Amino acid sequence: MLIRGVVWDATGPSLSCTTDDGDAAVPLSAGQWLRFGVHYGPRQCVGSFVVQGPTVSVHRRCPESAAAERGYQCGRCFARDDFRYMHDFHRSGIAPAGLRAYLGQPHWLYIATFADGATKVGTASQRSKWSRLAEQGAVLAQYVALADDGRIVRQLEDLVTANLGLTQHIRSAAKAAALLEPLPAAELAAVNGRHAGAVREILRGVGMAGFQTVREGWDRPALAAGLADPGAAPRERRHAYPSTLDDGGHGLLIRAMLGGYVLAGMDGIDSDFVANLGQLKGRRITLGHHRSAVPIVQDSLF
């Protein structure tokens, strides 16, 4: 199966994948062993999407099963992916009809804070209001504005970045590293509250119609508790997963999940590890009786 990423919905997280029989999902839950082997080779194209309206998008697999060239897509799939217009639509005005309908629904502006206090501004459609933040791997977040559509919310996002310097992107590797030693919940709450307050203050002075400031919290998934909170993990310390997820066999006992990051046990080691399942995107895997390679010298981990 070809992994297309970690997705969240009301039932929890899953590995989204494409198989010979079509699209599928591998549900992930606490107490579950995830055992898989990664096929060696370059990342493969994960395909493209046709957006048909505010709540409907259809995935198309790569017709060539080609290697990824631009991020996680080949050139052909990138060129025909409707979502490629989304992040520049508020400047260009160019988008297919289905994506225009998607962007025409209400959108939310949020402030998200991660385990080390790094904070970003971002947007989510009405459809993905909760899941967008769950998939981002936020520890704390709150919504600061509700816009009439996707064009307006992205204008607000750019305005916040320009005036307050808040980034719109935090690297996946940085999020994973931060989860090795997360800051206390009270400290993260203070950081998030300070940034959200500053954003609302800026927005009150914006002479633009089509949005309203809001004060609304985001409910973090319960499955994230053991990973996001220091001291909540079932072992005294946690460590970076010692193997890359681009080859070989892996066996992970899921204890907690936040975004695409998993706090997991391994066979033969009495400790927990933080692994980034997002690294599987564009990789082919086979589920089976696999085990993670145990480091020969374990002292360096502890």
The whole-number average pLDDT for the span 4-21 is 95
Average pLDDT rounded to a whole number, residues 204-214: 94
Hey, what amino acid is at 251?
G
Judge whether residue 233 has pLDDT over 70. Answer: no
- The DSSP H or E segment spanning 113 is strand 107-113
Can you list the alpha helix ranges (DSSP code H) found in the chain? Answer: 75-79, 89-92, 97-103, 131-136, 150-164, 172-178, 185-204, 225-228
pTM > 0.95:
no
pLDDT of residue 230: 67
Are 255 and 231 contacting, i.e. CB atoms less than 8 angstroms apart? Answer: no
Interval 57-86 mean pLDDT:
93
pLDDT tens, 292-301?
988 654 544 5
Tokens of 171: 């690297």
Residue with tokens 């590797």: 173
Mean pLDDT across the stretch 81-103? 85
Q: How far apart are CA 105 and CA 125, in angstroms?
A: 7
Task: State the CB neighbour count (10 A cutoff) for residue 14.
Answer: 17
Given pLDDT bands bounded at 50, 70 and 90, which one contains residue 90?
confident
What backbone torsions phi and psi does residue 210 show, to the nearest 5 degrees? Answer: 100, 10
What whole-number distance in Å separates Cα of residue 43 and Cα of residue 106?
35
- pLDDT (mean) for 172-199: 95
Of all residues in the chain, the percent with pLDDT exceeding 70 is: 95
